[in-house]
Amino acid sequence: MTSPRQRSIEVRVPASTANLGAGFDCLGLALEMYLTARATVQIRPGSRTLARTRGIGGSASLPKSPEQNLIFRAMHYTAEKEGFQLPVVRLAVKNEIPMAGGLGSSAAAAVAGTALAYATAGRPLSRENALRYASEIEGHADNAAAALHGGLVVTYARMDGWVGAMRLAWPKMIRVIAVTPSMELPTKKSRAVLPAQVSRQDAVHNLQRSALFIAAIETRRYDLIWDAMQDRLHQHYRQKLIPGLTEALTMPQMPGLLGLALSGAGPSVIALATAGFDEIGRAIAARFEDAGVTTTIRFLEVAQDGISILENRPRRR
């Protein structure tokens, strides 16, 4: 059992998909697939900070070395920004989110670390600051905002570095099919292929469709989602990095399929659908398999809630 003085804090953070086609670096959607991290504050003299991990990725992606672990790095980054000292902790991580798959694994780790920093220091979580710190670690706010708030989020940044997010309810009838090719694509590599400048025509195209996506969700005009998810800013440039992506994104509409997009920086492709889930998943996977790439198909609900925090839970014997 955990002693009365040995606090244990557990956070549960959802996966996420970002961009949703045209909403580059501003739209995010939380998904019911989770990273769970428990930090137990150590009170014995001479205790060392340690981590153990299980689930997808294992120690290769969430290493045991505190210096290499993104959750620990986020904890220290937050403590440095807030000016407080972190206690020594033992960290236990269970991860369901594929690494470098475009489903918000690094954002979940950054958000988990930021929240654990506040909790282990005995401070209430500031969601505004947590979003800013996680965004600074990530380089963009859309996945982190979805992980913090749940549902559909629209994010924005001011010139002074402040980051904001607006949460919108997601219709429960629309589910997400995520098809993940058996390859990792780090966000840094995926962003490196994007041009420094885009044409005004392409920028206007994406502005129109980002606004249309929000309007379609809010007014339940699901027939508009297919057009609303058409992108000109990033997906075309990333196709050369992912065999089969071109064919997956140019699939014809089929019953129940509302729209298709590259999930975040990839390589996963997401489909929004109301029916025909198995058929849609298999059709997307077939495009990758024709290019010689195996896939994992996941059928996911949207996580209506973001991060959850539980404190002083006893450890199992």
Cβ-count burial of 307 within 10 angstroms (0-12 exposed, 13-18 middle, 19+ buried)?
buried
Q: Which domain holds residue 118?
A: 8-169+306-311
The answer to whether residue 1 sits within a structural domain is no
Question: What pTM, to 2 d.p., does this model score?
Answer: 0.90
Would you place residue 2 in the very low, low, confident or very high pLDDT band (cuts 50, 70, 90)? very low
Would you place residue 185 in the very low, low, confident or very high pLDDT band (cuts 50, 70, 90)? confident
Q: Do 243 and 276 fall into the same domain?
A: yes
pLDDT at 311: 78
Task: Write the CATH number for 229.
Answer: 3.30.70.890
Q: Do 24 and 161 fall into the same domain?
A: yes
CA distance 116 to 60: 22
Q: What are phi and psi of 174, to 5 degrees?
A: -95, 115
Q: Do 125 and 188 fall into the same domain?
A: no
> Which tens digit of pLDDT belongs to each residue from 86-132?
988 989 999 999 998 999 999 999 999 999 999 999 899 999 999 99
Would you place residue 5 in the very low, low, confident or very high pLDDT band (cuts 50, 70, 90)? low
The answer to whether residue 2 sits within a structural domain is no
Q: Do 232 and 115 fall into the same domain?
A: no
The answer to whether residue 257 sits within a structural domain is yes
Choose among 17, 103, 91, 31: nearest CA to 59.
Answer: 91
Q: Do 47 and 160 fall into the same domain?
A: yes
Q: Do 266 and 237 fall into the same domain?
A: yes
Q: Do 290 and 206 fall into the same domain?
A: yes
State yes or no: pLDDT of 56 exceeds 60: yes
**How many separate domains does the chain show?**
2
- Provide CB contacts within 8 A for 86, sequence distance 6+: 75, 76, 79, 117, 120, 121
Task: Write the CATH number for 67.
Answer: 3.30.230.10
